[in-house]
Structure 1
Amino acid sequence: MVPAAGASAAALPSAAPVLPAATDPPSPSSSGGAVRDLTPSLQRQIDAAVQHVMKQADVPGVNVGIWTPDKGQYVKSFGVADRSSGKKMSSDLYLRIGSETKTFTVTALLELVDQGKIGLDDTIGTYIHGVPNGDKITLRQLAGMRSGLFNYSQDEGFFKAFTSDPRRPFTPQELLHYSFKHPVLFQPGKKFYYCNTNLILLGLVVEKISGRQLRDYIHDTVLQPAGLDHTVFPQGAEFPSPHAQGYTDQTANGKVATTADWNPSWGWAAGAMISRLQDLRVWARTVATGRLPDGKRLISAATQKQRLTTPPTTIPGAGYGLGIFNVQGWIGHNGSLPGYESLTIYLPSARTTLVVMLNTDINYKKTTEPSTLFGDAITKIISPDHVFNLPAEPAAR
């Protein structure tokens, strides 16, 4: 989420990368979304593909979960959670999920829409003063990455502040300051541009309208109803145990560092959250359908339809709705924060979930996020008609 100065948006602490889609996601009944049976033979192919990506991208450890109602499941851990101790990776470990946080923040926002307390076409200036073009930018454009605001995590001053002390806290107001000193990049709605600034503003809107801290509101209205007992929005650098150590090269000198004790507050509403494999399994379907595990709606059908509607983008086969993307029919989000990456996606046409969590964000050949490599390699095997094939150039984390 925090790109190195002058680097691509995904360079440094990336709260989460994303590459959006241009078409509405298929309905659960649509054809052509078949997922292959998770037979022992197919699972061995997945094993080999995961191990190949690990070697290719020098990934210390990874958890992979695939769940499909009629064709079996696959839950395995590979490699190590900590290179110094040799502790094995395991599915009960907590990891930081970076920009997957965006799906929770936008869900909280959409709940307020359903309650009639805000409107998606309200301007941000109605709630937050001092935003460039605040009288024109709508909440919908912020959630859909079409605001035109500068991404604070690409600001050189922010990069220097973060890398000089990655354990320091940042306030939302400090983050906005890094963005607002730059001119707007384009007029609202004119194009897609992945920008963490958008989510900081939406987090502040949720706080203002709910009268509560964002972390508390998300806990009570999103996490608890969904039964996500192992998903956390930290106040600062706290990290539940057991957790994996993280490895990054997003440092001032470019050397690899360990990151478990780094403070993710710079990501806040765009990328600070923590979770585990089984919780993300539940969340994948919940966020893609708007329904809780018991079948009740978390988001109304009308609002969920708006969430999944993706205006055209320039990225073939991919689109971005309201805090969520669609890549070749797979709906969800990825996340990247120094030391950690994740991918949580759901294929409605096959009611299949894929979750990948790993303890590095070091790009392969400096261009491709390892979570994307895993998503591509695994979906080529399990859903060859729906391959998670984001372009090589990573999106703004």
Structure 2
Amino acid sequence: MSNRAAYETVLPYVREWVSYKVWQLRVPGVQVAVGYEGEVLFDEAWGYADVEAGRRLTTTDLFRIASHSKTFTATALLQLAERGALRLDDTVGTYVPALVDGGSPIADATLRELMEMGAGVLRDGHDGDHWSLLRPFPDEQELLALVLDRGQKVPAGSAFNYSNLGYALLGLVIAAVSGKPYNEYVRESITEPLGLRNTGPDWEPARADEFVVGYTGFHAARHRRRIDHVDTRAMAAATGFHGTASDLVRYFSQHVIGQGTLLTDHSKRLAQRKAWSATDDPAGRGYGAGFIVDRIGDREVRGHSGGFPGHITQSVFDPESGLVVSVLTSAASGPASLIATAIVRLLDAAADADAPGTPIPDGVDPATFTGRFANPWGVTDVARIGARLVEVDPSAPDPLDTPTRLEVVDADTLRMTAGNRFGSIDEDVTYDRAADGTVRSIRGGGGMTSEPWSVPEEAPETAAGLR
């Protein structure tokens, strides 16, 4: 079975699993897209774009994708470098003379050091309350004031320090070199050539009705509140972008080695190689030049997360195979990374020809066994993952944390052949069917009966945790 064919076997379960997580975690809205080898294979939306208005979320509604913006900024700089308009080892002071005039040591940091988060720049300044929407995001003069106010905390080249201010400075560099405002340059050089109609560098009031409303989290309250959109002004290069999951899949597909027209493969490798580790573990999560470097299982991935008031987002891609996953959520502390990681693991499990368990026999329709079942002890999914049937707990953060492998015995019986032996391994799951073949119940773990269950329809405010 090809990777694409294997992925397509599990995408129906991805749809059901995400639907459950949206309900379980009361997320107002979630978009998910999956791409492979330059093609979008999956594009779905759950929940609401505006809970109070009862407006259902669609796959074309616009999320604020926040620090995804840094990948666009890095791409723009690499384009300019390919054209000979700048060198990555030029100093930022060459293009932002206010840093030189103000005596900032950041003036001597290179563009590469800023792109790799190694210039020692403060994360958000000594006053970062624009992130809490206590004041507007800074304009260019306010940005420079934040940087010039003790803006370098360690010497350039000495440590990894994630910095929104640093990437905002790179937006000023792009404007200085191109002779165009940052927002205009990235539209003309990145989003428009790719036909990304639903992606742009900042808030667009003219399209306000297409934007997803963001909501607060549950970390300090039991109910969510809506959060208004704002313009990020001089911070657009670090955090201003909006987009959709499917647009991001198309965009990150351009960064796969051997695909796309945005950059040469040489530039892609420069951007995607790990320059720094984010922790003391050199094999752990790190940063390249505008791209997060991470690992999911045995797969090394690139991409970026994004945190904006009321929006948490995550995109990952494999630069070698061409697999891309993008997840956008409309709440503070939204489970974007959890969902993206789980989807990659499900896809990898589907494509693993050597996975444990017995393949589904020829002539057996797996749809006669798959479904979601519940009893007072919990919820169980019987899912097709690649060539096998697997019992999954959808309430767990990782659907493949403790799977139970299932073997087809006959038309109404599965056997639990492998898994956590605190459970009921080597016992049977039996199906009770109506005359038309629909499943009325199953009897499985511990010999207990479970009945078919689906996510209930709820009022928008209840479903999204607004009441």
Counterpart amino acid of residue 299 in structure 1? L
Counterpart amino acid of residue 74 in structure 1? F
Residue number in structure 1 paired with 2:152: 184
Q: CA deviation at 1:232?
A: 1.7
Paired residue secondary structure (1:78)? strand
Residue number in structure 2 paired with 1:54: 22
Within the candidate set 111, 120, 124, 1:148 is matched to: 120
Are 1:239 and 1:260, in contact at CA under 8 Å, matched by a contact in 2? no
- Identify which range, 279-288 or 53-62, moves more after superposition: 53-62
Counterpart amino acid of residue 324 in structure 1? F
Within the candidate set 200, 208, 211, 1:243 is matched to: 211
Structure that is richer in strand per residue: 2
Residue number in structure 2 paired with 1:353: 324
The runs of at least 4 consecutive aligned structure 1 residues that moved more than 6 Å come to 33-36, 250-255
Q: Does 1:101 align with 2:69?
A: yes
Residue number in structure 2 paired with 1:38: 7
Counterpart amino acid of residue 87 in structure 1? R
Q: CA deviation at 1:194?
A: 1.0
Residue number in structure 2 paired with 1:300: 264
Larger Rg: 2
Q: How many residues were matched structurally?
A: 340
Alignment partners' CA distance in 2, 1:239 and 1:260: 14
Within the candidate set 144, 150, 166, 1:198 is matched to: 166
Are 2:232 and 2:239, in contact at CA under 8 Å, matched by a contact in 1? yes
Q: CA deviation at 1:121?
A: 0.8
Residue number in structure 2 paired with 1:321: 288
The structure-2 alpha-carbon separation of the partners of 1:195 and 1:253, relative to structure 1 and needing over 3 Å to count, comes to: farther
Counterpart amino acid of residue 142 in structure 1? L
The structure-2 alpha-carbon separation of the partners of 1:288 and 1:198, relative to structure 1 and needing over 3 Å to count, comes to: farther
Identify the structure with bigger relative contact order (alpha carbons < 8 Å, sequence gap 6+). Answer: 1
Residue number in structure 2 paired with 1:371: 336
Paired residue secondary structure (1:200)? helix
**TM-score, length basis structure 1:** 0.76
What are the residue-to-residue correspondences of 1:258-297 with 2, within 5 Å?
Answer: 258-265=226-233, 267-289=235-257, 291-292=259-260, 297=261
Paired residue secondary structure (2:44)? strand
Alignment partners' CA distance in 1, 2:210 and 2:78: 32
Residue number in structure 2 paired with 1:15: none
The structure-2 alpha-carbon separation of the partners of 1:181 and 1:238, relative to structure 1 and needing over 3 Å to count, comes to: farther
Structure 1 segments unaligned to the other structure (5+ residues): 1-32, 364-368, 390-397
Paired residue secondary structure (1:117)? coil
Are 1:108 and 1:206, in contact at CA under 8 Å, matched by a contact in 2? yes
Residue number in structure 1 paired with 2:134: 164
Residue number in structure 2 paired with 1:330: 301
Post-superposition CA distance 1:243-273 (Å, at most 9, x none): 2211135999998432343333363111111
Residue number in structure 1 paired with 2:275: 311
Paired residue secondary structure (1:121)? coil
Alignment partners' CA distance in 1, 2:73 and 2:39: 33
Post-superposition CA distance 1:49-77 (Å, at most 9, x none): 32343245431110111123599922221
Q: Does 1:138 align with 2:103?
A: no
Q: CA deviation at 1:300?
A: 2.7
Are 1:94 and 1:240, in contact at CA under 8 Å, matched by a contact in 2? no
Residue number in structure 1 paired with 2:408: none
The structure-2 alpha-carbon separation of the partners of 1:99 and 1:205, relative to structure 1 and needing over 3 Å to count, comes to: same
Q: Does 1:343 align with 2:314?
A: yes
Q: What RMSD over aligned residues (CA atoms) do the two structures have, in Å?
A: 3.2
Residue number in structure 1 paired with 2:346: 381
Paired residue secondary structure (2:305)? strand
Are 1:64 and 1:74, in contact at CA under 8 Å, matched by a contact in 2? yes
Residue number in structure 2 paired with 1:124: 92
